[in-house]
Amino acid sequence: MLELNGTVVVLLISFLAFIWALDLVFVKPVAKVLEARAAKVERDLEASKASRAEADVVLVEYQKRLADVRNKAQSIINEGVTASQKLRSEEISKVQAGGRQKLEAARVELADEKKGLVDQLVDREIELVNIMMGKLIGASHVATGLDRSQVKKALEEAC
């Protein structure tokens, strides 16, 4: 069978001492480093998840504020458009009223001018009729028999 002599026992004790020293010097420190690294990775993952959740909250808040700003901007634009349309309508009304006033003033002026011209024409016509009658009948027999209102009425109807 197997004989145990002193060399095998010393070799076995040396091997076990070497394994124990190896475990003490290399394996335990490496295991501690690996555990520390795993713990750090776990902490980093938790921090990353927390940062992600915080970023999602900030993103939602940003989107909400952006929507609010867009709504406010749209309402300001709508108010501006409404105000400009109202101002435009008022200005158009003012211009139209001014145009009507100018047109009415021009009509009145034309009517006055027409009346003055008709009066001048009536006077000239009566004068010409008197001259013609004076030449036809004679200057001594000329009596103005023309009614100014009838001559004026006839001229207005002709015009």
Give the tens place of pLDDT for each residue, 50-100.
999 999 999 999 999 999 999 999 999 999 999 999 999 999 999 999 999
Q: Which long-range contacts (CB under 8 A, 24 or more apart) does 10-17 make?
A: none
pLDDT of 142 over the 80 cut: no
| pLDDT for position 159 | 66
| pLDDT for position 2 | 62
State whether the Cα torsion 101-102-104-105 is positive or negative: positive
State whether the Cα torsion 116-120-125-130 is positive or negative: positive
Q: How far apart are CA 134 and CA 140, in angstroms?
A: 8
Q: How far apart are CA 159 and CA 141, in angstroms?
A: 32
Amino acid type, 73 = A
Q: Which of the two residues, 131 and 37, has the higher pLDDT score?
A: 37
How confident is the model over 98-117, as a mean pLDDT? 92
Residue written as token pair 């076995």 = 12
Domain range summary for the chain, segments of one domain joined by +: 7-158
Highest mean pLDDT among 15-24, 68-77, 112-121, 124-133: 68-77
